[in-house]
Amino acid sequence: MFNNSSKILFLMMMVTGTLITVTSNSWLGAWMGLEINLLSFIPLMSDSNNLKSTEASLKYFLTQALASTVLLFAVILLMLKNFMNSEISESFISMILLSTLLMKSGAAPFHFWFPNLMDGLNWLNALLLMTWQKIAPLMLISYLNLKEILIISVILSVMVGALGGLNQTSLRKLMAFSSINHLGWMFSAIMINESSWMIYFLFYSFLSVTLSFMFHIFNLFHMNQLFSWFFNSKILKFTLFMNFLSLGGLPPFIGFLPKWIVIQQLTFSNQYFLLIILMMSTLITLFFYLRICYSAFMLNYYEINWISSFQFNKLNMNLYLILSFFSIFGLFFIST
């Protein structure tokens, strides 16, 4: 991606679109930023080595264009209400705005496009979709004060993310359902405190970068590759699955810290029902992460790998080990 000047230009435009949305003081300006972000991300998705990328970019465009159209419709209704004293309910307009932003972020119940789209991307684009592309919608959702409707999305997101990952063999779909699950936790943080969801998002982005970097280096896309690829390297296999458990939020890894913050705040605000559902969904995700880890350590077999080329060098290896060190042992340094 970074060797192509046009891709760098589109990457800068994508960053600019997100910044316009975040810093905008009107819904129309936020919509413009989202459109710039959308139209600059689609060229980044095109990949000559991946036949599914064209299909994925078309799916992304249709879904996001639909959400943007409804968002613009809601913005027009809001302007009519403010300038012409229309009798349209403001809560109804806010509900439409929230629905479109949930669709843009890939949260349940508007999540159906997200796993299939992720399955057609390479790891760099998948990482952008899981992290950077969620900043603008999440920021706009934090401006809307609709806790009752957001709670429904939280419950659906954590349950869909937990149950959807149970029968997956594709690593990209597994990461997609994990992202939907983490969105539920972020929405819970948004309802309580504006800064806590940003902390959660930073930790989630760090863990996603660590895992996606590893998958990108070794061209890992399916579960059976995890069993056969690291046949002679137990350290790599160990760090990879410890990062998986950290992403799931298992103590004492760093991924537990943002969940700990959200659990503490939900306890202080007496949201016990929501807390129980969040913790149950996390137990399900940890179950299938542990199942993968157990299988990978026990079923260690050798086969001829159909993807033989990978971008491996000493710099990549050192960078991955540094990221893994903070992912696995970071909580010890923070707590002390």
153-200, pLDDT tens digit by residue?
999 999 999 999 988 889 999 999 999 999 999 999 999 888 899 999
Give the per-residue pLDDT at 335: 61
Distances (CA, A) of 166 to 1, 10, 169, 336: 32, 36, 9, 36
Question: In this model, does residue 51 exceed pLDDT 80?
Answer: no
Give the per-residue pLDDT at 300: 60
Highest-pLDDT range among 225-234, 266-275, 316-325: 266-275
Q: Answer for the pair 42, 58: CB distance below 8 angstroms, yes or no.
A: no
Q: Up-side HSE of residue 329: CA atoms within 13 Å toward CB?
A: 7
Question: In this model, does residue 241 exceed pLDDT 90?
Answer: no
Whether pTM > 0.85 for this model: the answer is yes
Question: In this model, does residue 298 exceed pLDDT 60?
Answer: yes
308 falls in which pLDDT band (50, 70, 90)?
Answer: very low
Q: Where are the domains of the chain?
A: 5-335
Q: Among residues of the chain, what percentage have pLDDT more than 70?
A: 92
Give the per-residue pLDDT at 2: 58
What is the pLDDT of the chain when averaged over all its residues? 88
Give the per-residue pLDDT at 73: 93
83-87, 191-195, 213-217, 287-291 — which is least confidently predicted? Answer: 83-87
- Spatial CA neighbour of 285 closest among 111, 113, 107, 158: 158
Tokens representing residue 188 in the block: 């819970």
Distance from CA of residue 164 to its chain's centroid? Answer: 15
